[in-house]
Structure 1
Amino acid sequence: IIHLASPFITNAVDFDKELFQPAVKGTTSVLESAHKYNPDITRIVITSSFASVLDPAQGTRPGYTYTEADWNPVTPETASANPVVAYLASKTFAEKAAWDFVRDNKPNFDITTLLPPMVYGPADQHVEDATKLNTSSADIYRLIDGSEKEVPDTSFWAFADVRDLAEAHVRAFERPEAAGQRYLITSSGYSYQNVVDIIRERFPELREKTPKGNTGAPLPPVYRLDTSKAVKELGMKFRTLEETIVDTVNSFAKLQQ
């Protein structure tokens, strides 16, 4: 089983109803059903998130490298500070609930969790128009349709290409050594300034609609993510930001036809 679903919204109002319950129950229900009804299931791969690794209280944390050993220290008491913290908490609570389930119930299956940060890539899903795009695709689309006048602030300083993440799910499902492991899945550090620089350079026809910002500005001192475990054990090779953004923008052309 590969379990992907979880709410990704950062403007929730009822945190428990919109985030905590769907994330946790959505995960534990899959595990409970597999344990109860199908003893032949041997592996469940769960899409968790860098949100369950990041300590948001530390900010950009220059010089620090996050690994799979890190956990977001959020508690039920601090989880409702604001909508973003609540989203991060929902992913953390869901992943911890999964590990607790395996520890307490000792099912026939093992689990593997994948920990991507922001996920971008070609929008191949069917949508009626751009307003129906998923959250991360919409973030990029707003950079080319004229609605963003300034370069947005960067909230998470790393990204994954959706195609790399899909490949990681398959490899985590197939490889015995992935049993009981967490894997950070990320291509590199990035900022929205990097994104608009790529768009403006590779798509000159979009420059009038794409904010300019501070062209060529380097990344500020921020945390890093160690993906050596995924590279070694899953054999991952990650796409560059330029490849991801160029392919994403090209995919939007289908929405404008």
Structure 2
Amino acid sequence: MVKTIFVSGATGFIAQHIVQQLLQLGYIVIGSVRSKGKGEDLQKLINSPNFSYVVIPNLVVAGAFDEALKAHPEIKVFIHTASPVDFEATDFKNEVLDPAIEGTKNVLSAIKTFGTNIETLVYTSSVIAIIDILVKLPRPIQYNEDSWNPITYEESFKDPYTAYGGSKTFAERAVWDFVKNEKPKFTVTTIHPTYVLGPQAYEVKNKTQLNFSADISGKLLNLKPSDEIPEFFGDYIDVRDTAKAHIFAFEHPEKSNGERFLLRDCYFTNDSLVELIRKNFPQLQLPKGDLEKSAQLIEEKALRLDPSKTNSILQFKYIPLEQSIIDSVQQILEC
């Protein structure tokens, strides 16, 4: 029998790739969306008889996921990606923290009560739940799958970035607390990507509305030859590999149960991205990137992430950064 997979936040950047890959593999997918309009738009975009949606307008409302699971006892896997990424937020509690934390608790409650046939929960966390974003620990420090962001709930109200860090950290804590206290029969895996780059899963209809990660490369396309390249660095993983890791988690429960997958391939800077774009799209006439400055920035500020445990479990080759940038830029130029 074909498994039915539930994907919360199905309109998201990572979620759409998860849905696309699931459908390509022959699964039946039910996605949650915030409104009927968003659901109809997504259904047209995906255009598959094996995809349907349910409307969950507010993750924070108690019992938010109950009706969806009651109506679909055939669901075997729950992939929870729904969580706000809003670096313009001003009401950190209501716009960022509560939707992530209370939304995750609502998922856990719904699965416990109504998801009697669910075999696996895969939760989309972030590297930000692993690293020390407030630099409270002595440096240098190396982070791995066992590391935790030491942020307190009160510190999460400092700015939008710390709010996001707190939201992912405490939402994930809720997952593992549930596992510890409830000892569920279903397996649990959390996924921790770094900066997620790569193309959208489906057609880009408005390149001015790219999500935060996709827009990292998108913004560089607007630079003029005389412009200064803004300083930025991070660790890269492609969105398609991020989606693939979610699917691996439930397809290989014997390897994934209880694990936190840290997804990281390599470093990048805006200067290095610009040089990759210039190399592959010379017609754009972008400013020249300073690779010496790029290397120095990475040496001085980059995190030391050790995903060796994750790599040994997943054992698949990541899409190279250059290919990710080529695919992203090509898609944006075509829209």
TM-score under structure 2 length normalisation:
0.70
Say whether residues 1:246 and 2:326 are aligned partners.
Answer: yes
State the superposition RMSD in angstroms: 2.0
Q: CA deviation digits over 1:184-224, x for unaligned, max 9?
A: 011112111111111111110112xx343424542323222
**Is the counterpart of residue 153 in structure 1 residue 231 in structure 2?**
yes
Gaps in structure 1 of 5+ consecutive residues: none
My pick for the range that moved more, 44-53 or 146-155, is: 146-155
Structure 2 counterpart of 1:192: 270
Q: Please tell me the residue identity of whatever aligns with 2:322.
A: E
Task: Select which of 306, 309, 315 maps to 1:229.
Answer: 309
Q: Is it true that 1:202 corresponds to 2:267 in the alignment? A: no
CA contact (8 A) 1:186 1:238 kept: no
In the TM superposition, 1:10-159 aligns within 5 A as 10-58=87-135, 64-146=141-223, 149-154=227-232, 157-159=234-236
* Matched position secondary structure for 1:180: coil
Residues 204 and 331 of structure 2 are in contact (CA less than 8 Å); yes or no, is this contact kept in structure 1? no
**1:184–1:173 distance in 2 versus 1, CA, 3 Å:** same
Give the equivalent residue in structure 2 for 1:212: 288
CA deviations on 1:3-57 (whole Å, 9 max, x unpaired) are: 1111111121000011001111222212211111122212111110000011023
CA contact (8 A) 1:3 1:45 kept: yes
Aligned partner letter, 2:320:
T
State how many pairs are aligned.
251
Deviation for aligned residue 1:127: 4.1
Secondary structure in 1 aligned to 2:154?
A: coil
- For the residues of structure 1 that align with 2:105 and 2:283, how far apart are their CA atoms? 48
Q: Distance in 1 between matches of 2:322 and 2:292?
A: 14
SS in 2 for 1:57: coil
Identity within the alignment, %: 37
State how far apart, in whole Å, the 2-side matches of 1:99 and 1:16 are.
Answer: 22
Structure-1 separation of matches of 2:243 and 2:170: 23
1:144 CA drift (Å): 0.6
2-side partners of 1:37 and 1:2: how far apart?
A: 16
Tell me the secondary structure at the aligned position of residue 156 of structure 2. coil
Give the Å deviation of 1:113.
0.3
- 141-150 vs 179-188, greater mean Cα deviation: 141-150
**Distance of 1:216 and 1:239 partners within structure 2:** 24
Quick check: which one's strand share is greater? Answer: 2
The alignment partner of 1:56 has SS state of coil
